[in-house]
Structure 1
């Protein structure tokens, strides 16, 4: 069924004249008449009778009108759901308490007029997020492909911001009283990061981090969630974990967990944004601009190998040319 013919029928029924319907739809009266005639042949009923004042619905036309309105509304909603600028901006974050979500929330609080849809794709392989961006299922994803050469031509990746890491420990841990720590002070301490997914960007990050500073990163056991991790830290005299300085976590006050900054060098996790190379959602431009205003990570800084790139060092976050 031709949806434009259905739309022409609805406007003609509501306005009572084919000429007025044609004017609203931006077509000729003859085109509207042909569309309705085609629709009548397909339905095998008469929808209108001609009068001196225009057209009036037949009984079949009256029966068809509410359903035709539903068809037109459904088509309009379907188009709006996939057309950038006419629907909510859909962005994937790793979790609703991660630095990505926190920075996005800070931006939204200052620009609450933006229609924003924050989603969390339940995937560990960043290639799945890339595929979702390429397919138009989401507008952007806070994921990193550590080898940008493998990205399909329809998408690209820009540097968003760097997230400094902190050591999170319970009150009985030997480092609990420290105000700051250096990476060498973390050696020989068990840093528990359960459930590191193979082939994920964070698996490669922790591999490089442990090799660079001879750290004991323990990924043993499944990830049962932050609550179980915090329970373990609160009771343990020797287990610690790493969290982002901007990550927003909540635990019972009696746990007395301590977040300790790491410096000289600052350990930082580079956060990227994957987005379409052409015709990105208009709402992305303001978010990319917001990244530029974030406070820089304290120097000196350690970053994994994939984050050290000429476009990063010269500040070319346009990297964002596609959203300007």
Structure 2
């Protein structure tokens, strides 16, 4: 149904005259008459009766009027849902427990006026396609991995370097250490079943292994963080690596240890990606917030893969 014809019908019904409706709509009276005639043909009924006082809705016109107004309200809501500045800012974070989810919680706390949708897209290719189609406004990723060049229409800013920590159970050989060097980890089994081949975090850990000769195992099904913590707590020979800003809680009886890794400090580089032509006004607000919300990335004494974006 032609919404402009419906809008014209509602305007005539409100004004009571074709001429006044034409003025209200900035149209000629002939154009108004033509739209009403087209709508009447489409519906197969007469909508107005001409009277000395102007135009009055017929019985069919009176029946159609509330539906016409609802059609116009729905059309306005549909347009508002995608209108720049009216729809929520849509941001992809990889995990609800991860560091970038924490960044978004901080952003929401600092800018409660920004309507926000937080999504979790597992695959980086899917996230990039969503940026390019406008399904999301931004995504947090570790970009630059070999074979994953960033498309030219996307922009990137490194916003957070997250230090890795060693997590062990109480019976592990390193459980009593206040800190461990990367060299101290050589020969120890580090179990990380969530390292999925082909992901950007898999590329990160592959480079970490190659650079320092570590042993990282991704064997077995990934039953999630709780199962990982249970296994590490009960297995003295196993440890895992955990981001320092991850929100992880475990039962007190587990006796788990979180030990800083130093010399150098391996950090996971989180970057914000967005489309260069994205006009959402809250996107600039988010970028400004992230520029000061966390310690500046690229600190001395840290390690990142060679493909990590350079800090501006």
TM-score of the pair, normalised by structure 1: 0.86
Correspondence 1:107 to 2:107: yes
- CA distance 1:50–1:127, change in 2 (3 Å): same
Residue deviations 1:228-276 (CA, integer Å, cap 9, x gap): 1111122121211112111112222222322222222111111122211
- Between 257-266 and 219-228, the greater mean CA deviation after superposition: 257-266
Q: Structure 1 residue 226: deviation in Å?
A: 0.9
| Corresponding residue for residue 304 of structure 2 | 303
| Corresponding residue for residue 131 of structure 2 | 133
Q: Distance in 1 between matches of 2:55 and 2:250?
A: 68
- CA distance 1:35–1:163, change in 2 (3 Å): farther
| Corresponding residue for residue 165 of structure 2 | 166
TM-score of the pair, normalised by structure 2: 0.89
Q: Distance in 2 between matches of 1:158 and 1:211?
A: 26
Larger Rg: 2
Secondary structure, counterpart of 1:79 in structure 2: helix
Q: Which aligned pairs between 1:173-192 and structure 2 lie closer than 5 A?
A: 173-192=172-191
**Matched positions, count:** 309
Q: Distance in 2 between matches of 1:248 and 1:226?
A: 11
- Between 265-274 and 149-158, the greater mean CA deviation after superposition: 149-158
Q: Distance in 2 between matches of 1:255 and 1:19?
A: 80
Q: Structure 1 residue 91: deviation in Å?
A: 0.7
Q: Structure 1 residue 31: deviation in Å?
A: 3.9
Q: Distance in 2 between matches of 1:26 and 1:263?
A: 71
Structure 1 residue runs of 5 or longer lacking an equivalent are 316-324
Q: Structure 1 residue 108: deviation in Å?
A: 0.7
- Between 191-200 and 91-100, the greater mean CA deviation after superposition: 191-200
| Corresponding residue for residue 244 of structure 1 | 243
Task: Note if contact 1:139-1:280 (Cα within 8 Å) is conserved in structure 2.
Answer: no
Residue deviations 1:162-201 (CA, integer Å, cap 9, x gap): 2221122222222222222221111111111104222210
Q: Structure 1 residue 15: deviation in Å?
A: 4.9
Structure 2 residue runs of 5 or longer lacking an equivalent are none
Secondary structure, counterpart of 1:262 in structure 2: strand
Secondary structure, counterpart of 1:174 in structure 2: coil
Q: Distance in 1 between matches of 2:262 and 2:113?
A: 38
- Between 10-19 and 248-257, the greater mean CA deviation after superposition: 10-19
Secondary structure, counterpart of 1:142 in structure 2: strand
Q: Distance in 1 between matches of 2:54 and 2:19?
A: 9
Q: Structure 1 residue 215: deviation in Å?
A: 0.9
- CA distance 1:232–1:149, change in 2 (3 Å): closer
| Corresponding residue for residue 96 of structure 2 | 96
Q: Which aligned pairs between 1:143-154 and structure 2 lie closer than 5 A?
A: 143-146=141-144, 150-154=149-153
- CA distance 1:115–1:218, change in 2 (3 Å): same
Secondary structure, counterpart of 1:56 in structure 2: strand
Task: Note if contact 2:142-2:308 (Cα within 8 Å) is conserved in structure 1.
Answer: no
Task: Note if contact 2:144-2:150 (Cα within 8 Å) is conserved in structure 1.
Answer: no
Q: Distance in 1 between matches of 2:88 and 2:244?
A: 29
Secondary structure, counterpart of 1:306 in structure 2: coil
Q: Distance in 1 between matches of 2:53 and 2:188?
A: 88
| Corresponding residue for residue 34 of structure 2 | 34
| Corresponding residue for residue 230 of structure 2 | 231
Q: Which aligned pairs between 1:64-103 and structure 2 lie closer than 5 A?
A: 64-103=64-103
Task: Note if contact 1:92-1:120 (Cα within 8 Å) is conserved in structure 2.
Answer: yes
| Corresponding residue for residue 255 of structure 1 | 254
| Corresponding residue for residue 9 of structure 1 | 9
Q: Distance in 2 between matches of 1:79 and 1:68?
A: 17
Q: CA RMSD in A?
A: 2.3
Q: Distance in 2 between matches of 1:86 and 1:131?
A: 23
- CA distance 1:114–1:308, change in 2 (3 Å): closer
